[in-house]
Structure 1
Amino acid sequence: MTTKKFKATQQGIVSALFVLLFAGFAAFLPGFAQIDNLLTLVQNVAFLGILGLGMAVVVIGRGIDISMIAALAVPSGLLLQLVQNGHSLGSAFPIALGLALAFGLVNGWLIAYAEVPSLFTTLASGLFLAGLGQAYFFQLEVVQWPAALDPAAWLGRGTLAGVPTPVVMFGVAAAAMAFFLRRMRAGAFVYAIGDNPFAARATGLPTRPMVLLQYVLAALIGLFAGVVMAASVSSMPTRIFNSTMIYDVVLVVVLGGIGLSGGRGGVFNVVIGTLLIGTMLNGMTIMDLSYSVQNIVKGVVLLAAILIDSMLNPRNEETAQQGDI
């Protein structure tokens, strides 16, 4: 008789940690387990989860995109600004969509064809897009939601069967991304390229177009998250790209168990990572920890997650050749 050897996975560790943290907060933090607080918790991290889906497809393909907050703020802010200035939704949305699409194409081309490392590409492109928005697109740093956009306000306001609409939008985006990664040939290509780009290229897979697609998807997901956020809070604070939100997105993905070496993970990892981060942030807020202390905690957790990823997903000769991150 043979016995199966238990093998720890980061996904299993994070899932157990989430259960323990949630149970601990529910038992010892007054007000944490109340329905209103839990709905607020999931609503507040829904935008983070949507962005995490965009980051996930890039990291699975062995890259990283730190320009996603600019992709969230600028195209959606431009949409609001154009409608404020008298343009119809029918004319403003294609312009915002075109900006997000062009942004993703430029990122993808520089990384896939010019072979500029993704970290430096997205750092530079994010700064460029944010500066472009501040210099030429926006009249104020906070662009208010115009009444002419109210037909689309349902994307971020209200509830569906008692669930806040942003959470529903996260669920829709997660289902779409799961279908792409697990049911479409392009999704299988992303995993193959992330697992071993040299072998994928040798077998004839369209590696460069697929890398291009990953960054286009990330930019479009950023636009979607931005519209949902703007509808939820009735404005787009365009200076959000100066916040630490991109680190939260990376934390969701890495802590959730998507290996930085590529080719591993999926939508469930993003969901569990989002829930864990949401629980942690909500608990620290109830405990009245300062923003600076919260950043210290998040930094320590991110370092621990990267260490666990390195231990559970050690890099072999192929994965060590990772010039794109």
Structure 2
Amino acid sequence: MVKGLSQERIVLVIAIGLFVMFSVALPGFLSPGNLLSLVQNVSILGILGVGMAIAIIGRGIDLSILSTMPVSVAWLLNLINGGMPIWLAVLCALGFVMLVGIINGILIAYVEIPAIFATLAMGIVVYGFGKAFMAPIDAVYIGRGDSWFYSIGSGRFLGVPAPVIVFALVALAAYLFLRYMKAGRFIYGMGDNPLAARVTGVPVRPMIVVQYVLISIIALIAGIVMATALAAINTRLALSTMVYDVILVVVLGGIGLSGGKGGIRNVVVGTLLIGILLNGMTIMNLTYTVQSILKSVILLMAIVVDTLLNPRDEQTAQHGDI
């Protein structure tokens, strides 16, 4: 690769170019309403991308993230609508997502089911259990109120939309965790070489459980932002292709699927590009099918580039990895 260039910088340049092109070519792209919609969607996608990045850096993946998010928040809204205090409802939802993360971690770390299969199955279980016992109705609505809770997705602070602030806080917390905390460095070590990490004393199995609990908590945060921005959440989101958008954000930003590489800055850059692209395609009235095809091609190209830049080694190909 040319000196001074990286996948992250190339993607950032493309994102800026797309923004300028759409601003000139698409009527309404720069309208306040559209930019607000872009900011909200980018923020939610980015928060989920942070969670997926933690999984992939640790040489895993979490396909249950898009079931955990709407089901937990739909239950939370049902509890609030039923008269439960907001703080208690949030604690209940937090306990539920932590349980999902613990089960994911145990299946992957102790039962040794490959992450892609364990989280795929767990996502189906979460959605089915949620529809049966927690949120039977697809769309759950919530009214507005004076509590802090309602401003998480719709408020502003110093003119900055609250979803952007939440995304920034989640990204900052994840950055500090991965870079400066021992547990974060353990995740990088596990992703880079799990066998070496185990030999050097890293508690790999417990750390995998911690890793997936963190991802589930981040999914809950993203869901709360979405629900309070739209005053509703739809559990059928679990059946959408949004999880591929999340993976695309992470891989396109430059986080290697082989694990142990990349960081939160890559997620931010990937989120900007995909958010702008999705918004532009929506304004152009491209059908859902065409959008899915374009996203699939971009994801495939990103995986090919990742394979060339981060070739998978013998350990990566062993049972239990992605």
Q: TM-score, normalised by structure 1?
A: 0.94
Alpha-carbon spacing, 1:8–1:176, altered in 2? closer, same or farther (3 Å): same
Displacement of 1:44 in angstroms is 1.7
Q: Note the residue ranges of structure 2 that are not aligned, 5 or more in a row.
A: none
Partner of residue 288, structure 2: 291
**Which of 203, 218, 221 does residue 218 from structure 2 map onto?**
221
Q: Does 1:121 align with 2:125?
A: no
Alpha-carbon spacing, 1:148–1:97, altered in 2? closer, same or farther (3 Å): farther
Aligned AA (1:44) = N
Partner of residue 83, structure 2: 86
Q: Does 1:259 align with 2:256?
A: yes
- Paired residues of 1:83 and 1:148 also in contact (CA < 8 A): no
Match of 2:312, SS?
coil
Partner of residue 249, structure 1: 246
d(CA) in 2 for partners of 1:221, 1:195:
23
Displacement of 1:138 in angstroms is 1.6
d(CA) in 1 for partners of 2:129, 2:317:
36
Aligned AA (2:226) = M
d(CA) in 1 for partners of 2:74, 2:90:
11
Displacement of 1:79 in angstroms is 0.9
Partner of residue 15, structure 1: 12
**Which of 285, 288, 298 does residue 301 from structure 1 map onto?**
298
d(CA) in 2 for partners of 1:161, 1:180:
27
Q: Does 1:60 align with 2:34?
A: no
Aligned AA (2:271) = T
Displacement of 1:262 in angstroms is 0.2
- Paired residues of 2:144 and 2:231 also in contact (CA < 8 A): no
Partner of residue 203, structure 1: 200
Aligned AA (2:208) = V
Displacement of 1:5 in angstroms is 6.5
d(CA) in 1 for partners of 2:81, 2:144:
8
Q: TM-score, normalised by structure 2?
A: 0.95
Alpha-carbon spacing, 1:197–1:308, altered in 2? closer, same or farther (3 Å): same
d(CA) in 2 for partners of 1:34, 1:85:
38
Partner of residue 180, structure 2: 183
Partner of residue 110, structure 1: 107
- Paired residues of 1:47 and 1:228 also in contact (CA < 8 A): yes
d(CA) in 1 for partners of 2:320, 2:98:
25
Range moving further from structure 2, 13-22 or 222-231: 13-22
Aligned AA (2:270) = G
- Paired residues of 1:39 and 1:163 also in contact (CA < 8 A): no
Displacement of 1:288 in angstroms is 1.5
Displacement of 1:167 in angstroms is 1.2
d(CA) in 2 for partners of 1:281, 1:151:
30
Over the matched positions of the two proteins, sequence identity in percent amounts to 51
Alpha-carbon spacing, 1:90–1:24, altered in 2? closer, same or farther (3 Å): closer
Partner of residue 74, structure 1: 71
Aligned AA (2:68) = A
Partner of residue 193, structure 1: 190
Aligned AA (2:103) = V
Displacement of 1:32 in angstroms is 2.4
d(CA) in 2 for partners of 1:188, 1:266:
12
**Which of 132, 137, 140 does residue 140 from structure 1 map onto?**
137
Aligned residues: 322
Partner of residue 276, structure 1: 273
Alpha-carbon spacing, 1:50–1:89, altered in 2? closer, same or farther (3 Å): same
- Paired residues of 2:55 and 2:62 also in contact (CA < 8 A): yes
Consecutive aligned runs of 4 or more in structure 1 exceeding 6 Å deviation: none
Aligned AA (2:247) = V
Displacement of 1:316 in angstroms is 2.8
Aligned AA (1:133) = G
d(CA) in 2 for partners of 1:286, 1:124:
35
Partner of residue 43, structure 2: 46
CA RMSD of aligned residues (A): 1.8
